[in-house]
Amino acid sequence: MNYLGTKIISLNRIVLTKFNENDYLDLYEYASNDEVTKFLTWESYTTIDDAKNYLKNVATKYDSKTFRWAIRLKENNKLIGAIDVTKLDETKEEVEIGYVLNPLYQNQGLMKEALKGVTKYLFNSCLVNRIIIRCNIDNLASYKVMKGCGYIDYPKLRNLKVKNKDVVIRYTYLTRTIYNYFLSDRYIF
């Protein structure tokens, strides 16, 4: 596996970049929305300082093993979401991806575009063997993005505690072999 970290990924309508500390208003716009965070592992932000602190202490810290992208509109550089590697298993050369998108930009194919860009980068440049994505079984929009990018269902669902609630989690995956043989031609931008 090649540890190349977060590189700029330029796509059709969006560009994936590193976060910066000036992103706090755009981040707060979606991270403070309970509808956005209801299926996520973190609680909604309650103050703009929550967004500032996240950017200062977490999101702007990068090294070669950090894969964390800000999703920005190409037309105006507005931050509309995030996609990142949430887990990295070095021995299996396997990663898990998580993502979030401002609801004002949902249902436009933008998250699908971001996921395809990150998938292509992780398989072709970083030589990851497998990518896993999980979501709450009730999060049909996220599941639709996964399936639209060719991700395959794991045969089992899992019960987990998320925000002190029992939830059923669905897992999907894609391997570099499957991607190369069946999907790479669908990932052209």
131-155 tens-digit pLDDT:
999 998 999 999 999 999 999 998 7
Q: What are the pLDDT digits (tens) for 176-187?
A: 999 988 877 766
- Residues 128 and 93 sit within 8 Å (Cβ to Cβ): yes
Nearest residue to 81 (alpha-carbon basis) of 39, 50, 114: 114
Helices 140-148 and 110-124 pack at an angle, to 10 degrees, of 50
Query: What pLDDT is stored for residue 187 in this prediction?
Result: 66
- Token pair in block for residue 133: 């994505």
Using a 10 angstrom Cβ sphere, with 0-12 exposed, 13-18 middle and 19 or more buried, the burial of residue 102 is: buried
Using a 10 angstrom Cβ sphere, with 0-12 exposed, 13-18 middle and 19 or more buried, the burial of residue 66 is: middle
Helices (H), ranges, the chain: 24-31, 34-37, 48-54, 110-124, 140-148, 176-178
Confidence class for position 163, pLDDT limits 50, 70, 90: low
Q: Is the pLDDT of residue 189 over 60?
A: no
Which CATH class name applies to 9-187?
A: alpha beta
Query: What pLDDT is stored for residue 165 in this prediction?
Result: 75
Q: Which residue has the higher pLDDT, 165 or 10?
A: 10
The average confidence (pLDDT) of the chain is 92
Query: What pLDDT is stored for residue 147 in this prediction?
Result: 94
- Amino acid (one-letter) located at 5: G
Q: What are the pLDDT digits (tens) for 44-75?
A: 999 999 999 999 987 778 999 999 999 999 99
